[in-house]
């Protein structure tokens, strides 16, 4: 046993040396481009509730041994604070990374080794991650913690493509070899319902299965892993090499990002959804406006959002270049987590005196429905300004726009209109649970009708098997993939050339409200035409 531990330690240390050699040195903070109005001390204090520990089960789990073979980079000494109860004021992200690196305090730009609470991978990046893990740690090496690795096939699932199917086989073999506890497998592709373990889109499944918890560090081999920041945790995407290292050590080397704060206040109009808010923000700051920054969302509007809408906000921070997005945990968060996790968690909040890179304020009550025109998420326009754009299809699905609340929103517009769609309308639930909700949950104000009944009456396509679907193109036989040049209004997250298939396809990113309204007219349509 001692010799195997020693070998693992040597391997992890050697690999860590390679990783450190490639890392850039921390750079000083730059000044914000804009000159936003600072928040008052009263507002700051209101945003920083006292931390509390939440016990999810009857007893606290015993923590497994952690690999300590990785050395932290050298850091300059810091003079201690002389007054005040908070010695070093920090943002939420700084606090989470400080706790995960066993540091009393951190500043933006510091490189630190953090203990990872959850590592997620899927069928696209999983095989590569596994290959790197075996190459660097050995064919017989074991993962650092089989209960902290979550493997979710979801991208290229319902296809006859042999390479895509092979990827899932690789995941299955690895999980069996490693006794991975959380592997959401699928074997029968003819009927997803015959696979009780299969979930669907990883980011939504992580939340539904209780793997997202306040105060923790969650890393995944997918850029939209930032979705989990809605739970008040640090969540970000990493590459296969980093993930292979995490598999063997449970640690990752991260640079602490500065935080941009977005204050969203005002009553949410009945024709807006979180997708409108994040498209508004990305259009404001551009696709590079938050490069390697943490994006923290606060304000009365954010507090009023349910968890799925908060996920939409955090999901797309990567489209602005963000390192991670985060929403302070509150009673909405705690209620969502009830019955989903047996792991204790402790939320953290930004200190009132914390230093932010910049602040942005939005009066949500004055905003209008927006879209992102081809071919960039920051190519923002008001939906009503695009009313002459003729479309060929509508796609409602993905980790961003395929959750239960997204389909309820679509059903609401169909119900209000009483009309049928004028273009093919594809519905792809994110997970099995969402699919079941579509067929079982009554839509408010419908007299007991479910989403599926309303969709059928409106002439939509039958809800498809849960997966990432055509959001990122995929093999040619992927359901709803754009195999010809078309104009599509989609609730997905990216609209680059070729993103949903054909390189000449044009994608207008929109909320479920706007997408549904557009399906009813055959043109990009402001949902207020049906909801007001």
- Answer yes or no: do 236 and 276 share one domain: yes
pLDDT at 55: 61
- Answer yes or no: do 396 and 522 share one domain: yes
Residue 408 lies in a domain: yes
**Could you tell me the pLDDT band of residue 35, with boundaries at 50, 70 and 90?**
very low
Comparing 82-86, 293-297, 380-384, 451-455, which segment has the lowest mean pLDDT? Answer: 82-86
Single residue among 312, 334, 365 that ends a domain in this structure: 365
Structure-block tokens of residue 428: 């792809």
Nearest to 69 by CA among 106, 121, 18, 16: 16
Instruction: Give the pLDDT confidence of 299-353 residue by residue, as tens digits.
Output: 999 999 999 999 999 999 999 999 999 999 999 999 999 999 999 999 999 999 9
Residue 173 lies in a domain: yes
- Answer yes or no: do 318 and 406 share one domain: no
Domain CATH code at residue 393: 3.30.499.10
Comparing 68-82, 269-283, 354-368, 462-476, which segment has the lowest mean pLDDT? Answer: 68-82
Has residue 22 got a pLDDT over 80? Answer: no
Q: How far is 71 from 135, CA to CA, in rounded Å?
A: 21
Has residue 51 got a pLDDT over 80? Answer: no
| Residues sharing a CB contact under 8 Å with residue 217, sequence separation 6 or more, in sequence order | 96, 97, 100, 114, 115, 116, 117, 118, 233, 234, 235, 252
pLDDT at 86: 55
Task: Tell me the DSSP string of 10-39.
Answer: HHHHHHHHHHHHHPPPP-PPPPPSS-PPPP
Q: Are 44 and 352 in contact, with CB atoms under 8 Å apart?
A: yes
Residue 122 lies in a domain: yes
Q: Which residue has the tokens 């020693």?
A: 6
pLDDT at 469: 92
Q: Are 246 and 252 in contact, with CB atoms under 8 Å apart?
A: yes
pLDDT at 140: 96
- Answer yes or no: do 357 and 377 share one domain: no
Whole-Å CA distances, 102 to 74, 94, 231, 312: 15, 12, 21, 31
Structure-block tokens of residue 499: 């993103």
pLDDT at 14: 53
Strands 425-428, 294-298: pairing kind: unpaired
Number of structural domains the chain divides into:
2
Instruction: Give the pLDDT confidence of 113-152 residue by residue, as tens digits.
Output: 999 999 999 999 999 999 999 999 999 999 999 999 999 9
pLDDT at 134: 98
Whole-Å CA distances, 399 to 30, 153, 186, 219, 283: 33, 14, 19, 16, 20
**Could you tell me the pLDDT band of residue 87, with boundaries at 50, 70 and 90?**
confident
**Could you tell me the pLDDT band of residue 289, with boundaries at 50, 70 and 90?**
very high
- Answer yes or no: do 359 and 379 share one domain: no
**Could you tell me the pLDDT band of residue 18, with boundaries at 50, 70 and 90?**
very low
Helices (H), 61-217: 92-100, 126-137, 162-178, 202-208
In a 13 Å sphere around the CA of 409, the CA atoms on its Cβ side amount to: 26
Whole-Å CA distances, 183 to 196, 281, 360: 12, 35, 40
| Residues sharing a CB contact under 8 Å with residue 200, sequence separation 6 or more, in sequence order | 154, 429, 430, 431, 432, 434, 435, 466, 467
**Could you tell me the pLDDT band of residue 237, with boundaries at 50, 70 and 90?**
very high
- Answer yes or no: do 321 and 214 share one domain: yes
pLDDT at 56: 60
In a 13 Å sphere around the CA of 438, the CA atoms on its Cβ side amount to: 26
Structure-block tokens of residue 360: 């942005």
Q: Are 372 and 495 in contact, with CB atoms under 8 Å apart?
A: yes
Q: How far is 431 from 434, CA to CA, in rounded Å?
A: 5
- Answer yes or no: do 379 and 332 share one domain: no
Residue 62 lies in a domain: no
pLDDT at 53: 66
CA 479 centroid distance within chain: 23
For the chain, the first-to-last Cα distance in angstroms comes to 69
User: From the CA atom positions of the chain, what is the Rg in Å?
Assistant: 23
With H, G, I as helix, E, B as strand and everything else as coil, classify residue 487.
strand
Single residue among 314, 333, 365 that ends a domain in this structure: 365
pLDDT at 481: 96
Q: How far is 100 from 118, CA to CA, in rounded Å?
A: 12
Q: How far is 466 from 420, CA to CA, in rounded Å?
A: 24
Which sign, positive or negative, has the C-alpha torsion 446, 452, 457, 463?
A: positive
Residue 69 lies in a domain: no
Residue 136 lies in a domain: yes
Instruction: Give the pLDDT confidence of 141-179 residue by residue, as tens digits.
Output: 999 999 999 999 999 999 999 999 999 999 999 999 999
- Answer yes or no: do 214 and 133 share one domain: yes
Residue 428 lies in a domain: yes
- Answer yes or no: do 418 and 498 share one domain: yes
Helix (H) or strand (E) holding 260: strand 259-265
Comparing 42-51, 70-79, 323-332, 506-515, which segment has the lowest mean pLDDT? Answer: 70-79
- Answer yes or no: do 146 and 256 share one domain: yes
Has residue 367 got a pLDDT over 70? Answer: yes
* 22-38: average pLDDT: 40
* 273-284: average pLDDT: 98
Domain that holds residue 222: 92-342+353-365
Residue 21 lies in a domain: no
Has residue 45 got a pLDDT over 60? Answer: no
pLDDT at 190: 87
Instruction: Give the pLDDT confidence of 376-396 residue by residue, as tens digits.
Output: 999 999 999 999 999 999 999
**Helices then strands, each counted (H, E), the chain:** 17, 17
**Could you tell me the pLDDT band of residue 30, with boundaries at 50, 70 and 90?**
very low
Has residue 517 got a pLDDT over 90? Answer: yes
**Could you tell me the pLDDT band of residue 32, with boundaries at 50, 70 and 90?**
very low
- Answer yes or no: do 333 and 389 share one domain: no
Give me the chain's average pLDDT, please. 89
pLDDT at 69: 34
Structure-block tokens of residue 211: 């793997």
Has residue 82 got a pLDDT over 60? Answer: no
Helix (H) or strand (E) holding 506: strand 506-509
Has residue 201 got a pLDDT over 50? Answer: yes
- Answer yes or no: do 361 and 378 share one domain: no
């Amino acid at each position: 046993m001692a010799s195997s531990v020693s070998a693992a330690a040597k391997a992890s240390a050697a690999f860590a040396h390679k990783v450190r050699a490639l890392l850039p040195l921390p750079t000083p903070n730059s000044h914000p481009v804009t000159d936003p109005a600072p928040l008052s001390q009263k507002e700051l204090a209101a945003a920083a509730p006292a931390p509390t520990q939440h016990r999810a089960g009857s007893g606290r789990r015993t923590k497994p041994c952690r690999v300590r073979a990785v050395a932290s980079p050298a850091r300059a000494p810091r003079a201690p604070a002389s007054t005040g109860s908070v010695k070093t004021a920090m943002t939420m992200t700084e606090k989470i990374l400080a706790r995960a690196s066993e540091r009393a305090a951190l500043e933006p730009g510091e490189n630190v080794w953090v203990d990872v609470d959850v590592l997620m991978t899927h069928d696209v990046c999983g095989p590569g991650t596994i290959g790197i893990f075996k190459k660097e740690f050995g064919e017989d090496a074991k993962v650092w913690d089989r209960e902290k690795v979550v493997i979710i096939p979801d991208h290229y699932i319902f296809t006859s493509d042999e390479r895509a199917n092979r990827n899932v086989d690789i995941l299955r073999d690895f999980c069996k070899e490693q006794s991975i506890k959380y592997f959401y497998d699928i074997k029968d592709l003819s009927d997803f319902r015959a696979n009780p373990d299969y979930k669907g889109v990883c980011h939504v499944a992580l939340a539904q299965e209780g793997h997202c918890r306040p105060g923790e560090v969650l890393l995944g081999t997918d850029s939209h892993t930032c979705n989990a920041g809605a739970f008040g945790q640090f969540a970000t995407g990493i590459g296969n090499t980093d993930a292979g290292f995490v598999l063997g050590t449970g640690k990752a080397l991260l640079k602490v990002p500065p935080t941009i704060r977005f204050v969203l206040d005002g009553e949410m109009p009945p024709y807006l959804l979180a997708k409108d808010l994040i498209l508004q923000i990305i259009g404001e700051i551009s696709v590079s406006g938050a490069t390697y920054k943490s994006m923290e969302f606060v304000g009365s509007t954010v507090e009023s959002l349910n968890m799925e809408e908060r996920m939409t906000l955090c999901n797309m921070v990567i489209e602005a270049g963000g390192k991670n997005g985060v929403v302070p945990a509150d009673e909405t968060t705690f209620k969502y987590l009830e019955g989903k996790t047996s792991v204790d968690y402790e939320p953290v909040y930004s200190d009132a005196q914390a230093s932010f890179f910049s602040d942005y304020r939005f009066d949500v009550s004055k905003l209008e429905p927006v879209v992102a025109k081809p071919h960039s998420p920051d190519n923002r326009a008001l939906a009503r300004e695009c009313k002459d754009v003729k479309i060929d299809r509508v796609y409602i699905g993905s980790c961003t726009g395929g959750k239960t609340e997204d389909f309820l929103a679509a059903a609401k517009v169909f119900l209000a209109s009483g009309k049928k769609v004028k273009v093919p309308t594809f519905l792809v639930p994110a997970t099995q649970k969402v699919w079941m909700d579509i067929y079982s949950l009554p839509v408010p104000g419908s007299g007991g009708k479910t989403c599926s009944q309303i969709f059928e009456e409106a002439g939509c396509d039958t809800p498809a098997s849960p997966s990432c679907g055509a959001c990122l193109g995929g093999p040619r036989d992927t359901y709803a993939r754009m195999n010809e040049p078309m104009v599509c209004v989609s609730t997905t997250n990216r609209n680059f050339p070729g993103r949903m298939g054909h390189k000449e396809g044009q994608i207008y990113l929109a909320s479920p409200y706007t997408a549904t309204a557009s399906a009813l007219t055959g043109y990009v349509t402001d949902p207020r035409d049906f909801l007001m």
